[in-house]
């Protein structure tokens, strides 16, 4: 399995509506990108100070399938329309397991 | 399910032996912390510039079980002995799904 992880931090001015739009937008992706075998996302639970604000874990059969997701126009649309306007910081990694 | 994610970045001087010791040390934890329902870890695949160097995804039945792992002496020993000496940066999040 090839796994892609992204942790996102929002700007202080991000509204609850804007944060909810990220989750709603990303939740559409498994329906349009069949390469997404597992897609578990959500806002940070708030139990640890200093955490980032939102987590994305996406599992694929291969690195090639990950790249389909990475470059998919619907995904890029969510990034441009609802993530980038409130993005303060982004950290990522991919690994096989 | 309650998920804990950590992404780690190593200092430039970190050796391959030191990086391998992190993976080996963490891989012992499921055998001593039964609260770890799933534990998928590994070095970054190297397909995306700017990524962090190592990923940990740990799944628990509850936030309380996560805290058992977080505070477990064997886990804290791995952090102190093999992670902290080569740690440049750490980002985390926890979420329910």
Q: Percent of chain A at pLDDT above 90?
A: 100
User: Is ipTM strictly over 0.85?
Assistant: yes
Q: Do A52 and B95 touch (CB under 8 A)?
A: no
What CATH number should be reported for the domain whose range is A2-96? 3.30.70.100
pLDDT averaged over every residue in chain A: 98
Give the mean pLDDT per block of 10 residues along chain B (97 residues): 98 98 98 98 97 98 98 98 98 97
Please indicate if any CB of chain B lies within 8 Å of the CB of A52. yes
Taking the C-alpha atoms of residue B5 and residue B60, their distance in angstroms, rounded to an integer, is 11
Domain positions in chain B: 2-96
Q: Do A53 and B93 touch (CB under 8 A)?
A: yes
Q: How many other C-beta atoms are found inside a 10 Å radius of the C-beta of residue B6?
A: 22
Q: Quickly list H helices, A1-97.
A: 16-27, 29-32, 63-71, 73-78
Average pLDDT over residues A10-23: 98
Write out the two tokens for B45.
């695949």
Please report, for residues A59, A61, A70, the alpha-carbon distance to residue A36 in angstroms, rounded to integers and kept in the order given: 6, 8, 11
Please indicate if any CB of chain B lies within 8 Å of the CB of A49. no
Of A40, A47, A51, the CB nearest to B63: A47
Q: Do B7 and A3 touch (CB under 8 A)?
A: no
Provide the pLDDT confidence category of residue A32 given band limits of 50, 70 and 90.
Answer: very high
Q: Do B42 and A95 touch (CB under 8 A)?
A: yes
Cβ contact A4:A66 at 8 Å: yes
User: What's residue A29's pLDDT?
Assistant: 98
Query: Which residue in the block uniquely carries the two structure tokens 């995804």?
Result: B57
Q: How many other C-beta atoms are found inside a 10 Å radius of the C-beta of residue A20?
A: 12
The candidate with the shortest Cα–Cα distance to A90, out of A65, A56, A62, is A56
For the beta sheet containing B38-43, the strands, ordered from the edge strand earlier in sequence to the opposite edge, are B38-43, B54-60, B2-10, B87-96
pLDDT digits (tens, 9 = 90+) for A73-83: 999 999 999 99
Please indicate if any CB of chain B lies within 8 Å of the CB of A40. yes
> Between the CA atoms of A26, A30, A36 and A42, what dihedral angle is there, to the nearest 10 degrees?
40
């Amino acid at each position: 399995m090839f796994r892609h992880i992204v942790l996102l931090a929002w700007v202080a001015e991000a509204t609850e509506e804007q944060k909810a739009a990220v989750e709603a937008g990303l939740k559409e992706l498994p329906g349009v990108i069949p390469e997404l075998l597992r897609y578990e996302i959500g806002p940070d639970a708030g139990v640890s100070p200093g955490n980032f604000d939102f987590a994305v874990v996406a599992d694929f059969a291969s690195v090639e399938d990950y790249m389909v997701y990475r470059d998919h126009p619907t995904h890029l649309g969510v990034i441009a329309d609802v993530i980038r306007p409130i993005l303060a910081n982004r950290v990522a990694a991919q690994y096989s397991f």
